[in-house]
Amino acid sequence: STSTEAIRATLFPGDGIGPEIAESVKQVINVAGVPIEWEEHYVGTEVDPRTQSFLTWESLESVRRNKVGLKGPMATPIGKGHRSLNLTLRKELGLYANVRPCNSLPGYKTRYDDVNLVTIRENTEGEYSGLEHQVVKGVVESLKIITRQASLRVAEYAFHYAKANGRERVSAIHKANIMRKTDGLFLQCCREVAAKYPEIKYEEVVIDNCCMELVKDPGTYDVLVMPNLYGDIISDLSAGLIGGLGLTPSCNIGEGGICLAEAVHGSAPDISGKNLANPTALMLSAVMMLRHLRFNDQADRIHNAILRTIADGKYRTADLGGKSSTSDYTKAVCGHI
Amino acid sequence: STSTEAIRATLFPGDGIGPEIAESVKQVINVAGVPIEWEEHYVGTEVDPRTQSFLTWESLESVRRNKVGLKGPMATPIGKGHRSLNLTLRKELGLYANVRPCNSLPGYKTRYDDVNLVTIRENTEGEYSGLEHQVVKGVVESLKIITRQASLRVAEYAFHYAKANGRERVSAIHKANIMRKTDGLFLQCCREVAAKYPEIKYEEVVIDNCCMELVKDPGTYDVLVMPNLYGDIISDLSAGLIGGLGLTPSCNIGEGGICLAEAVHGSAPDISGKNLANPTALMLSAVMMLRHLRFNDQADRIHNAILRTIADGKYRTADLGGKSSTSDYTKAVCGHI
Ligand SMILES: CC(C)[C@H](C(=O)O)[C@@H](O)C(=O)O
Ligand SMILES: CC(C)[C@H](C(=O)O)[C@@H](O)C(=O)O
């Protein structure tokens, strides 16, 4: 849609620095003139029995209804017998693909300057099944579950994404030389989908080898698709190549066309409320959300404004070695839109 | 032992380039004056029913008897219904810890110059259990098994190693926020052992975060200990930081005090027999074997000769961008001993 009728989108500012960086995002989206009406939902202080977590059922209903949302960091207090907020979201909303583009930022120097890849992670099963038990004392097991349905779905998404974004190659990451059946099924599904996209190159890379190549020569990778845990690992590794989670956007694709963009960094309680947080990852995630809504012009303008502000180097938050406050950095980005 | 009585050690030259690089190692050990008598065993051409692999029972008996050995690359033909050679070795010899020191090589430039870490990988269980099955059509599962016994054993080894080698810190790598029971048990074992080594710092790092930190700032890591698959991934990633598997040594510690050093790179069939292979990883692995045998002087001399040859840069094999043959490079190393 490019009409001016307002689009309703859910906003989970999240914990810690979440509310501050969400404020920044609202500002830049405003300045870019995107008519978004936010439905804000805060992480609760009591466990909702329907979600078994601090995330309320109403929050989830909001995303289900709007089909689009933006999420800040959510810290899950450990060992309280309730579900992780992030896992609750993935499960309840059927967020089957986590998409993380990872591009070297001109102007923010790291050891790498040619990273231009996208990790697409299966987000619902695999090593995250939650199925674990003690067999006998001193012997425990976890189940990794791979299904044809979830593997096909994420593979379809990866190839669809590659084609829609002018990408040339999809690499399926696996350890099928060891987990022949589970990762073997995942690969088989990728191959079936690959056969329907003759214009996209397809390859299979063992995860250990992939990690070695990523640190030696990340420029050789394009789109990577993989089971849950490998995605967790490789997306963070890739983020590290360009400067860390404070600079990398992410977006989750869910059942029924849901798109939930999210910053995957932590809630940084130590600097929360001090106007020191870096809102870049959440801004870039919002850009992904805008592209999903086909506000491509506005997305481009915000994206370029962020890149320019970072390249300028005058307004940088402390995590990037600068001295800017969150609000000054945000103002600078707004100024470039 | 520093006597001149010959030590019997098993040698598996392995496949592909294995015999050539094993030849180089024999030469440098000879020149350094270490009295090793090699018992050579080749990978078979027929499956031995007792090992279910191309590795013969006699070869395994040789290591069990000598308690020390050196192994080149072994390629496992895929999908022939027999066991992987590497897994057979780990299983039959109870190789419970895989130790891979990873140090930036002065003179061989990569993006990193301050890598000085050691990965210690549990090598017998975890995601490598081999237990997998189809639950119903389209649904498969793999079992990850973590035992108190194997976790304690590798943790003990890691702390022992740290202390014996003047290391300051052991980091246990895990994903216990997701796999609470399996990785949780692994961590609990590490904590128990850590309590016995108050002089060694102990920390726990989530694997995704660890990979990100390794690419951003590997200099912050010292000794890392972890379950099987994480070790597979992180040891290759670390090798990538300093130039790849052609430059990184490895050694396996097994039941009854076995030490089996090995080059973990592939058998490179494309260049095999052409006098082009890089014997560095196998030479450095042999150095680890010599230290295990307490030929510390000779180990130092060989190690320094390798470093000097690489730093010189005059004799480098093709994989490092040079034009040297295996034998010229080996001669250069011998010249520096
Ligand atoms: C916080 C944690 C449960 C989560 C995960 O493992 O998926 C995080 O690492 C991520 O990548 O979103
Ligand atoms: C070849 C393969 C089975 C092996 C493993 O996964 O352990 C290799 O990657 C290694 O690290 O030795």
Q: B2 CB less than 6 Å from ligand 1?
A: no
How confident is the model over A138-171, as pLDDT tens digits? 999 999 999 999 999 999 999 999 999 999 999 9
- CB–CB of A132 and B181 under 8 A? yes
Nearest CA to ligand 1 atom 5: A232
Q: B178 CB less than 6 Å from ligand 1?
A: yes
pLDDT of residue A45 exceeding 80, the answer is: no
Q: How do strand A36-40 and strand A7-12 relate by DSSP bridges?
A: parallel
E strand map for chain A:
7-12, 36-40, 68-71, 95-103, 116-122, 132-136, 139-147, 169-174, 201-206, 223-226, 251-254, 258-262
Best to test chain B binding among A83, A102, A119, A179 (most B CBs inside 10 Å): A179
How confident is the model over B121-174, as pLDDT tens digits? 999 999 999 999 999 999 999 999 999 999 999 999 999 999 999 999 999 999
Best CA proximity match to A144, nearest among B73, B127, B334, B219: B127
A47: pLDDT confidence band, cut at 50, 70 and 90?
A: confident
Partner residue opposite A229 with nearest CB, options B111, B145, B175: B175
User: Which strands sit side by side in the sheet containing A132-136, from one edge to the other?
Assistant: A132-136, A139-147, B139-147, B132-136
CB pairs under 8 A between A and B: 161
Question: What average pLDDT score do residues B30-59 get?
Answer: 90
Ligand 1 center to A128 CA (angstroms)? 10
Question: What average pLDDT score do residues B252-266 get?
Answer: 96
pLDDT of residue B78 exceeding 90, the answer is: no
pTM of the full structure = 0.95
Partner residue opposite A182 with nearest CB, options B132, B232, B245: B132
Q: Which residues of A touch B237 (CB under 8 A)?
A: 208, 211-212, 214-215, 237
Q: What is the pLDDT of residue A77?
A: 67
Q: What is the pLDDT of residue B81?
A: 65
Residue B27's alpha-carbon distances to A5, A216, B301, in angstroms, are 79, 31, 14
Alpha carbon of B216: minimum distance to chain A alpha carbons (Å): 6
Q: What is the pLDDT of residue A85?
A: 87
Q: What is the pLDDT of residue B1?
A: 44
Residue A58's alpha-carbon distances to A7, A63, A86, A258, B176, in angstroms, are 19, 9, 16, 16, 30
Q: What is the pLDDT of residue A284?
A: 98
Q: Which residues of A touch B207 (CB under 8 A)?
A: 232-233
Q: How do strand B95-103 and strand B116-122 relate by DSSP bridges?
A: antiparallel
Q: What is the pLDDT of residue A79?
A: 56
Query: How crowded is residue A193: how many other Cβ atoms within 10 Å of its Cβ?
Result: 23
Cβ pair B9, B38 in contact under 8 A: yes
User: Which strands sit side by side in the sheet containing A169-174, from one edge to the other?
Assistant: A36-40, A7-12, A68-71, A258-262, A251-254, A95-103, A116-122, A223-226, A169-174, A201-206
Cβ pair B292, B251 in contact under 8 A: yes
B327: pLDDT confidence band, cut at 50, 70 and 90?
A: very high
pLDDT of residue A107 exceeding 90, the answer is: no
pLDDT of residue B76 exceeding 80, the answer is: no
Best to test chain B binding among A131, A206, A208, A228 (most B CBs inside 10 Å): A208
**Closest residue in chain A to residue B235, using alpha carbons only:** A208
Q: A220 CB less than 6 Å from ligand 2?
A: no
How confident is the model over A254-283, as pLDDT tens digits? 999 999 999 999 999 999 999 999 999 999
Question: What average pLDDT score do residues B191-217 get?
Answer: 98
Question: What average pLDDT score do residues B280-290 get?
Answer: 98
Q: B212 CB less than 6 Å from ligand 1?
A: no
CA distance B122 to A325: 45
Burial class of residue A264 in the structure, from the number of CB atoms within 10 Å of its CB (0-12 exposed, 13-18 middle, 19+ buried): buried
Ligand 1 center to A232 CA (angstroms)? 7
3-state secondary structure of A71: strand
Residue B218's alpha-carbon distances to A241, A277, B100, B166, in angstroms, are 12, 25, 15, 19
Note the ligand closest to the C-alpha atom of A209.
Answer: 2
pLDDT of residue A1 exceeding 50, the answer is: no
Choose between A64 and B48: higher pLDDT: A64
- CB–CB of A241 and B214 under 8 A? no
Query: How crowded is residue A46: how many other Cβ atoms within 10 Å of its Cβ?
Result: 7
Note the ligand closest to the C-alpha atom of B75.
Answer: 2
Q: Which residues of B touch A149 (CB under 8 A)?
A: 138
**Closest residue in chain A to residue B244, using alpha carbons only:** A212
Choose between B76 and B153: higher pLDDT: B153
Q: Which residues of B touch A179 (CB under 8 A)?
A: 127, 132, 142
Q: What is the pLDDT of residue A84?
A: 83
For chain B, the C-alpha Rg in angstroms (whole number) is 20
> What is the signed CA dihedral for B195, B201, B204, B208, rounded to 10 degrees?
-160
Ligand 1 center to B242 CA (angstroms)? 28
3-state secondary structure of B135: strand
Alpha carbon of A143: minimum distance to chain B alpha carbons (Å): 5
By the CB < 8 Å criterion, does B321 face chain A? no
Give the DSSP H or E segment for B117: strand B116-122
Ligand 2 center to B57 CA (angstroms)? 21
Q: What is the DSSP letter of B251?
A: E
Partner residue opposite B142 with nearest CB, options A148, A182, A244: A182
Query: How crowded is residue B100: how many other Cβ atoms within 10 Å of its Cβ?
Result: 26
Alpha carbon of B234: minimum distance to chain A alpha carbons (Å): 8
CA distance B231 to A137: 25
pLDDT of residue B44 exceeding 70, the answer is: yes
Choose between B31 and A5: higher pLDDT: B31
Q: Which residues of A touch B182 (CB under 8 A)?
A: 132, 140-142
